[in-house]
Amino acid sequence: MHGGRRALLRLVWLFAVVGVRADQTEVAGTMPEDYLPALKTILQNAWGRAPRSLESELDMLQAEARRDMMNADRLPHFGGWADLARNQSAVSGSSSSESRDTGLFYRLELDQSLFHWGELKNKSAIGRLGVLMAEKNYAEAARQLAVTLRQSYLELVVKKMRLKQARAALELATDDLKLAQERAAHGEIAPGDMAGRELSFREQSLQVATVEEEFAAARRSFARVAGLKELPESEVADEIPAPKYSEATTQAILAGFMRDGGKTAFEAEINSMRATEADLNYRIARVKLLPKLDALLSHSLQNSTNVSGNSVTQTGISTDTIGLHVGWSIFDGFYSRGEKRSALADRRRYEQRSERAAAEALDRAQNLTRRLGFDLQAMDFAQAHVNIAKASQEQLEAELPRGTVSPSMIGATKVSRYQAEADRASMRANFFGRWSELVSLAGLDPAINTLPARYVRNKP
């Protein structure tokens, strides 16, 4: 009976794992770059040339160098010295006693640490942990860059559509001013009305210039972050397509993240590693006042000439030493005690930060999920406004041949439609931005799939 229950539980667990993996694969095709080819190309090439990638690579090189430095004490140390000199000495009060050392003098030494109570092993562990944190930072920088570029590109699309609406409004204001000038020439418009239309035209011209400058500045900023020389207006999409949303996929992503307790979030993992590092520092400080055992191997040569009265003696002295050395720091003025207390405080601090970061990541994931639901409703409302604007424009265009409407009225509805479409694009950008952040927060971002697996795997 119990064996059958265990088999059933294993079967349920297997289906659960398969289901989670299936949900993860469904993320493909839902990201903004899957709808916007230009953005996909930018993301594929950004990490190799973005300024943040170079900084992260340098951080990893420094971490690897520190790891080698931490491992140095565990390896044999070999060195020595050599002199080519003439030394002369005499004994005070004895003019017949004199010695001279002439020639080559050298000493070679090889020493190896043998037993330091785990101190050297823990130092090496700190070095390896530093490399792991640098790799994690590298992957996190790539993830954040992808999220930033997606959101910034979507904002560029919205700005481009706002600019389209402003240019259409300026075109309408230009036509209206020309018509007013023609009527004013025939005395059909009062001077005050004409001044108002000229002011409206200048205000609209200023608005277009302002939006154009904001759009250009945003493109320059985006290009710098992405590592591009420039981003022409033509490479910004004209529209944001309607996203496809799966409630099941969203809930599966959230459930997986909740199941991990948010511990796979970047801040939680990094602080957990720092807590481990503090624990290793405590272990090192704990054994500082214990005796340490090292091995020593050396060889030296010294040439000596001794003069005593009429006797001259030349001697070459060769010395070989093999031995064990015990070093023991018995009292260091409570320095090691302070190190232990500091390390324990650091460990508690980073453990608390890790727990807090995990809780904040869980809250963020839940908030993003709820906001996605709001974004869906906002997109529906925005689409309804677009439909109304289109219907109004089509109705006026149908009445134009009858002469019941003017071209300026159709132009006004066209501007209204552009505004509604820009508002709809803004709602879609909000949705895509939050969806990308949720997927990325859960560790499923396709943009970092090209990184080495060790950079993105869960760290101990």
CB count in 10 Å sphere of residue 251: 12
Instruction: Give the contacts of 412 (CB within 8 A, at least 6 positions apart).
Output: 172
Place of tokens 């003017």: 406
Transcribe 296-312 into DSSP letters: EEEEEEEEEEEEETTEE
Structure tokens at 234: 């033509």
Structure tokens at 30: 């839902």
* pTM > 0.75: yes
Q: Is the dihedral of CA 204, 209, 214, 216 positive or negative?
A: positive
Cβ atoms 418, 168 nearer than 8 A: yes
Distance, CA of 112 to chain centre: 40
Question: Residue 55: what pLDDT?
Answer: 84
What are the residues facing 110 on neighbouring strands? 78, 297
Tell which residue, 301, 362, 290, has the closest CA to residue 327: 290
Place of tokens 């760290």: 459
Phi, psi of 177 (to 5 degrees): -70, -40
Question: Residue 454: what pLDDT?
Answer: 57
What Cα–Cα distance (Å) separates residue 263 from each residue in 21, 144, 259, 279, 455?
Answer: 19, 18, 9, 19, 16
Question: Residue 176: what pLDDT?
Answer: 84
* 256-278 mean pLDDT: 91
Distance CA 415, CA 208 (A): 13
Reduced to 3 states, what is the DSSP secondary structure of residue 97?
strand
Q: Rg (Cα) of the chain, in Å, rounded?
A: 38
Distance CA 321, CA 110 (A): 10
By mean pLDDT, which of 55-69, 142-156, 346-360 is the weakest?
55-69
Question: Residue 357: what pLDDT?
Answer: 95
Question: Residue 12: what pLDDT?
Answer: 37
Cβ atoms 422, 165 nearer than 8 A: yes
* 78-102 mean pLDDT: 73
Encode pLDDT of 186-217 as tens digits. 777 777 788 888 888 899 999 999 999 999 99
Split at pLDDT 50, 70, 90, the class of 279 is very high
Query: For residues 187-199, b (16+ Cβ closer than 10 Å) or e, as one string?
Result: eebeeeeeeebee
**Mean per-residue pLDDT of the chain:** 86
Question: Residue 189: what pLDDT?
Answer: 79
Q: Residues for the chain: how many in total?
A: 460
Whether the per-residue pLDDT at 342 is higher than 50: the answer is yes
Distance, CA of 70 to chain centre: 26
Phi, psi of 455 (to 5 degrees): -80, -30
Cβ atoms 432, 242 nearer than 8 A: no
What are the residues facing 91 on neighbouring strands? 94
Whether the per-residue pLDDT at 19 is higher than 50: the answer is no
Question: Residue 281: what pLDDT?
Answer: 95
Reduced to 3 states, what is the DSSP secondary structure of residue 323?
strand
**Which of 57-61, 98-102, 279-283 is modeled with the greatest confidence?**
279-283
By mean pLDDT, which of 51-55, 86-90, 259-263 is the weakest?
86-90
Place of tokens 């971002």: 445
Burial class (CB within 10 angstroms; exposed 0-12, middle 13-18, buried 19+) of 2:
exposed
Encode pLDDT of 37-63 as tens digits. 999 999 988 887 787 777 888 888 999
Encode pLDDT of 370-417 as tens digits. 999 999 999 999 999 999 999 998 888 888 778 777 788 888 899 999
Split at pLDDT 50, 70, 90, the class of 345 is very high
Whether the per-residue pLDDT at 17 is higher than 60: the answer is no
Tell me the residue type at 354. Answer: S
Question: Residue 18: what pLDDT?
Answer: 36
Distance CA 448, CA 446 (A): 5
Structure tokens at 200: 């409206």
Cβ atoms 82, 108 nearer than 8 A: no
Question: Residue 368: what pLDDT?
Answer: 96
